[in-house]
Structure formats: C-alpha cells, structure tokens
C-alpha cells in the first residue's frame, strides 16, 4: 500500500442546483461530486499536476467490452504510442478495497491489458507492476510517467 500526497491538490468546485460540482480537467466538464467522483478527481489531479502525466494521454470513464458486456473503466493512462499503460479503479472512501475490487480491475485488464494496475478508495491505495504477469510486484508509489 502507498499514500499519495493529495495535500496540495485543489479541486475546482461550484454549487449548482443543490449539488456540489467538480470540474474534470480531462473530460473538460462539470460533474456532480459523488464520493467516488471525489476520489477519481483527486487521482486525476495527482497524476497530472504532481506526477506530470500528460492529460492528453488520459481517458476517464470510457466504455469497454468485457466478456461481451459493456463496462466503464475509471481512468486509463496511455503511453506515447497510445497503448494502455495504467489502469486505475476508484471506489468511494467508504467502500473497502477487496478481492472483488481487484477482480473488477482484472476483468478490465483482460479486455485492455496494462502494465500498471491501481485500486484506490482515497484511503487505501495499491499499485501493481504487471509487466511480468507471472511475477506481479506491488509498488510503494505510483510510477513516474515515462510514455
């Protein structure tokens, strides 16, 4: 497990129709700030501002086919060749990370293989280097972007 430093992150928030909304820098739109969206937005800001991942190579909540069914991943970071490089699955802070969370991420991985897997609820954060699928290593931090 690792602990990203979210202390410097400032989300763009506004009140609208009795909802708090957050501006998503990748999708470039205002979204209702649900607990899961809160975690997702902190991760996006952390990847872009702290780790300098290029926003143009990040996708958020896109539909993919998994075993013939439509699913929606949280965050995928692509390398410079537009090959999926990192898959991030976000949960609300009150949802404990479990084997079920990892299984969900692995289903996405089966449809869109990535070197790095990340699962987070904002409090618990895990990153695995799956470069060698037979020898997966847990990381002590998110990798630097090396496109």
DSSP per-residue codes, 49-111? IIS---GGGEEES-EEEETTEEEE-SEEEE-TTS-EEEEEEE--TTS---HHHHHHHHHHHHH
Coil/strand/helix, residue 133 = coil
Distance (Å, whole) CA 14 – CA 31: 10
pLDDT of amino acid 8: 92
pLDDT of amino acid 123: 94
Tell me the pLDDT band of 113, cut-offs 50, 70 and 90. very high
Instruction: Reply yes or no on whether the pLDDT at 61 is more than 90.
Output: yes
Tell me the pLDDT band of 134, cut-offs 50, 70 and 90. confident
Domain CATH number, residue 78: 3.90.1570.30
Any domain includes 73: yes
Tell me the pLDDT band of 24, cut-offs 50, 70 and 90. very high
Distance (Å, whole) CA 117 – CA 76: 10
Any domain includes 86: yes
Any domain includes 147: no
Any domain includes 7: no
The answer to whether residues 142 and 127 touch, using CB atoms and an 8 Å cutoff, is yes
Q: Which domain holds residue 115?
A: 13-138
Give the total number of structural domains in the chain.
1
Distance (Å, whole) CA 74 – CA 44: 10
Any domain includes 53: yes
Tell me the pLDDT band of 1, cut-offs 50, 70 and 90. confident
Instruction: Reply yes or no on whether the pLDDT at 119 is more than 90.
Output: yes
Any domain includes 146: no
The answer to whether residues 2 and 138 touch, using CB atoms and an 8 Å cutoff, is no
């Amino acid at each position: 497990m690792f602990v990203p430093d979210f202390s410097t992150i400032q989300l763009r928030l506004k009140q609208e129709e009795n909802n708090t909304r957050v501006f998503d820098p990748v999708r470039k739109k205002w979204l209702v700030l649900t607990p899961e969206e809160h975690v997702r937005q902190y991760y996006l800001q952390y990847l872009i501002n702290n780790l300098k991942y290029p926003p143009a190579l990040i996708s958020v909540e896109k539909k993919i086919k998994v075993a013939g069914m439509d699913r929606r991943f949280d965050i995928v970071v692509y390398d410079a060749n537009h090959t999926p490089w990192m898959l991030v699955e976000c949960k609300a802070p009150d949802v404990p990370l479990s084997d079920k969370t990892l299984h969900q991420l692995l289903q996405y991985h089966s449809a869109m293989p990535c070197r790095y897997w990340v699962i987070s609820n904002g409090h618990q954060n895990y990153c695995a280097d799956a470069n060698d699928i037979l020898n997966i290593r847990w990381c002590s931090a998110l990798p630097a972007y090396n496109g």
